Amino acid sequence: MTAPSPLWSTLTDPLVRQNPVMLQILGICSALAVTTSMATALTMAASLTVVLVLSAGIISIIRRHIPDAIRLIVQIVIVASLVIVIDQILQAYLHDISQKLSVFVSLITTNCLVLGRTESYARLNPPVPSMVDALGNGLGYSLVLVVLGSLRELFGAGKLLGWQVLPLAEQGGWFTPMSLMLLAPSAFFLLGGLVWALRSLRPEQAEPAEFVPPVTREAGE
């Protein structure tokens, strides 16, 4: 068996093994804010992935020409321009969803995930690996958003992508929607639960203990 090519592992690593949201806990502000329904989660995930891939490509192309002292400004200008384009496209073609996403599309500019990837990878690598890495991270972020969004919509409203999956009690079914799932705290619980599950399956992701309790003995020993 041949080892997987570096590009392939650059693409697949951020999906689970190095997931930016669940391992590095980056970009969770938007991940928590837009996941009340699948539609908004998918739109946000797609917008962020597009912005991330394009900005990584552009920054990687001009990486040898960016003066180090102002590199963050350059990166933010590039990301912000792309975000404005995406925002305008969303407002033109998906007006309802862009209303629901409100300010969070514009806030992709300051998303830690975008700046993190451009600063730590695209700035130092050629365009193709940079864009593959950006795509992988965008997909990793999208994966978390879709999981959170589907859980919250399913249990908060009994729907998936607007379709009534679980019959509501008030319409003769058996399911009573959990309003908590549509409130912000549930996203924290669910994300915490996901991180817990993932780190139980892959213990190498768990952080080392910060504190070792002193050895205690029973009185009789």
Partner 1 sequence: MIRGIWDRETVALLLLAAIMPMALTFLWFGGSGAIGRLALALIVAGLWHLIFMLARAQPPSFAGAIAALAVAMLVPEELGMLQLALGISFGSVMAELVFGGWGRNVVNPATVTLAFLGFSFPAAPWPELVLPIAWAAIPAALIGVGFGVMSGRIVGGAVLAGVFALAFGVEPGPVLPAAGVVLVLLVCDPVASAATGGGRWLNGLLYGGLVVLFMLAWKTAAPVQIAVSAALFSSLAAPLLDEAAIGLWLARRRRRHG
Q: Which residues bind partner 1 (CB under 8 A)?
A: 176, 178-181, 183, 185, 189, 196, 216-219
Nearest-approach distance from CB 186 to partner 1, in angstroms: 9
Q: Are 105 and 44 in contact (CB under 8 A)?
A: yes
Helices vs. strands in the chain: H and E counts, helices first: 8, 2
Judged by beta carbon, residue 25 or residue 84, the one nearer partner 1 is 25
Nearest-approach distance from CB 216 to partner 1, in angstroms: 5
Nearest-approach distance from CB 200 to partner 1, in angstroms: 10
Judged by beta carbon, residue 7 or residue 183, the one nearer partner 1 is 183
Burial class (CB in 10 A: 0-12, 13-18, 19+), 184: exposed
Nearest-approach distance from CB 187 to partner 1, in angstroms: 13
d(CA 134, CA 137): 5
**Residue ranges of E strands in the chain:** 159-160, 163-164
d(CA 112, CA 139): 15
d(CA 38, CA 7): 30
- 168 phi and psi angles, rounded to 5 deg: -75, 145
d(CA 119, CA 205): 23
Judged by beta carbon, residue 5 or residue 216, the one nearer partner 1 is 216
Nearest-approach distance from CB 19 to partner 1, in angstroms: 21
Judged by beta carbon, residue 8 or residue 196, the one nearer partner 1 is 196
Judged by beta carbon, residue 80 or residue 178, the one nearer partner 1 is 178
- Residues in a beta bridge with 160: 163
